[in-house]
Structure 1
Amino acid sequence: MSSAILETGGTAAAMRRNFWRGVWRVMRRKPSRLIGAVIVLGFAFMGVFGPMFHPELLPRDPDRIYAPMSAEHWFGTDGQGRDVLAQVVTGSRYVLLSALVTAVITVVLGTAIGLFSGFKRGRWDTVLMRLTDMKLTIPGLPLLLVLSTVWSFGSAVEMGLVLGLLGWGGVARAVRAQTLSLRERGFIEAARGLGLPTTHIVGRELLPSMAPYIAMNMLIAVTGAVYAQVGLFFLGVLPYEADNWGVMLNLSVFGGGALTTTAALPYMLAPLLAILLFTLGIVLVVDAMDEIFNPRLREE
């Protein structure tokens, strides 16, 4: 008995080692993928630890309003004399944390509904898909406009919660389609023929098969959440209760006239470059994941 357990544990450990070796080979095949992973990890580090290196209220210098880029201020200063790069760093926590919360809620809720609906089919499938269709027809921007009148969205978790509850419909639809395809496969039919419970089939058979697809959807949801919240703050839909990249874009364009004068241009370019660089990192990581979890691509 003990020898069988040890053998099973050894097999699992060997499979994990082979998996990570395969990941390393895929990442080394294209250096751009390693660059993408470094970019994403760098932003994660900046979001977690970056604000710790700056005071909660950044120092203002009335004598250096919209100061040009220099060795002291890499992206210049804003209309209050505050360092722009420091604002990018301190504002990253709100943006990245709310994006992470959005992605987790979107993927968990959408995956749970899609798996249950696609596996059960019948009446449950009809009810859950009608609810999903109703959710997809609700326009997000008007709803956020209404919510902003009573909710300040000062917390990144609050923002992530709202965006996540508004964004799970597409994931639910996609996961249901994948589930309908997988439930007819031989290994699922064999599990059902053995009388295994639904929780075992879904949790041990279906979910691992869909893990790569779910992981990529989560990364894509992160970028979508960044665009959504930055766009809302840029348009002035939400009150400025927290420093973040969207607020910086709004103040640089509508307050500093960055589109008509070069003085505030670095103030606008800094958050834009951060968003573009973060998006590039996510795209490169998703490209690597596609090959990691696709045997056909690994063989080519």
Structure 2
Amino acid sequence: MTLTTAPRQATVTRATLRRNFWRGVWRVLRRKPSRIAGVVIVALFAVMAVVGPMVYPDPLPRDDDALYAPPSLKHPFGTDFEGTDVLALVVTGTRYVLLTAVITAVITVAVGTAIGLFAGFRRGRWETVLMRLTDINLAIPGLPLLLVLTTVWKFESSWEMGLVLGLLGWGGIARAVRSQTLSLRERGFVEAARGLGLSTTHIIGRELLPSMAPYIAMNMLIAVTAAVYSQVGLFFLGVLPFESNNWGVMLNLAVFNGGALTTPAALPYLLAPLLAILLLTLGVVLIVDAMDEIFNPRLREE
């Protein structure tokens, strides 16, 4: 084998592995139609987050003669107490909710994984310091801290909300990844890499991280749903100022301003964001179910 053909064969091998991987993903999804439905649901919400504000530009039109109008072809979920189309509110509120959830999940998983991997592999003084930081993070009361922050910070942007939620939520993943790393660091392939004198960065990035990629990917999806619940709950409780439209604001206004718990006509205004949260959670759960089989050979059916 010549030096020029070796890189070419390596490239072909990687392309073949990628092709076989995606074929396996498609087989797993096709095995249960519910998993395809989960992908479609999450993709639909992603499209809503991107396209929604373009379809329903701000400010949304109001009809003073159609307060709490019943569901119809023009208003599939009716209107709210100001005559605004409820479907338009759900669609335009998706961007803030979904973007915040994704930012939170990325920060949570990135920080937690980095600290857990480094602490579990290096051990010693580094592990002690990083685990004490993790304990402090786990001990921080999230809701009281957010209450204090809202006095000086308006959280107008989803980036701000995602940053705070992400920095408050990485502790659990850091501990879980550290436990996984402690188990993997004694395996033969890691010992071989250390024996070859490879750097810590190389071993963590090229040997340990790929082995934990499935676990990390599933934790990221789970973190998305947790972030949705957190931000919607905070807006519903009125902890955060209503600077932007989202599902939590809709729930708060429906219950405390719109009388949705006592007025039957206002019920669609309450149910629409709840249905959106339920569908998004269902889609993520179905994808996690598929990922569990994709990355766990024991669960694959022959």
Residue of structure 2 equivalent to 1:41: 43
Question: Where does 1:237-276 land on structure 2 (aligned, <5 Å)?
Answer: 237-276=239-278
Residue of structure 1 equivalent to 2:73: 71
Unaligned runs of 5+ in 2: none
CA distance in structure 2 between the partners assigned to 1:250 and 1:133 by the alignment: 33
Residue of structure 1 equivalent to 2:14: 12
Residue of structure 2 equivalent to 1:178: 180
| One of 53, 56, 78 as aligned partner of 2:58 | 56
CA distance in structure 2 between the partners assigned to 1:154 and 1:257 by the alignment: 26
CA distance in structure 1 between the partners assigned to 2:188 and 2:209 by the alignment: 16
Q: Number of paired residues?
A: 300
Q: Which amino acid aligns with 2:111?
A: L
CA distance in structure 1 between the partners assigned to 2:106 and 2:290 by the alignment: 21
Residue of structure 2 equivalent to 1:206: 208
CA distance in structure 2 between the partners assigned to 1:39 and 1:191 by the alignment: 42
Residue 115 (str. 1) matches residue 106 (str. 2): no
CA distance in structure 2 between the partners assigned to 1:143 and 1:112 by the alignment: 24
Identity of aligned residues (%): 77
Residue of structure 1 equivalent to 2:238: 236
Residue of structure 1 equivalent to 2:223: 221
Residue of structure 1 equivalent to 2:160: 158
Deviation at 1:299, TM superposition (A): 4.2
CA distance in structure 2 between the partners assigned to 1:178 and 1:46 by the alignment: 37
CA distance in structure 2 between the partners assigned to 1:252 and 1:208 by the alignment: 46
Q: Which amino acid aligns with 1:271?
A: P
| One of 55, 68, 86 as aligned partner of 1:84 | 86
Which TM-score applies when normalising by structure 2?
0.98
CA distance in structure 1 between the partners assigned to 2:186 and 2:148 by the alignment: 44
Residue of structure 2 equivalent to 1:168: 170
Residue of structure 2 equivalent to 1:131: 133
| One of 272, 288, 294 as aligned partner of 1:292 | 294
CA distance in structure 1 between the partners assigned to 2:4 and 2:264 by the alignment: 73
Once the two structures are superposed, what CA deviation does each residue of 1:14-56 show, in whole Å capped at 9, x if it has no partner?
1111101110110011110000011011111111111110121
Computed over aligned residues only, the root mean square deviation of the Cα atoms, in angstroms, reads 0.7
Question: Post-superposition, which runs of at least 4 consecutive aligned residues in structure 1 deviate over 4 A?
Answer: none
CA distance in structure 2 between the partners assigned to 1:289 and 1:38 by the alignment: 15
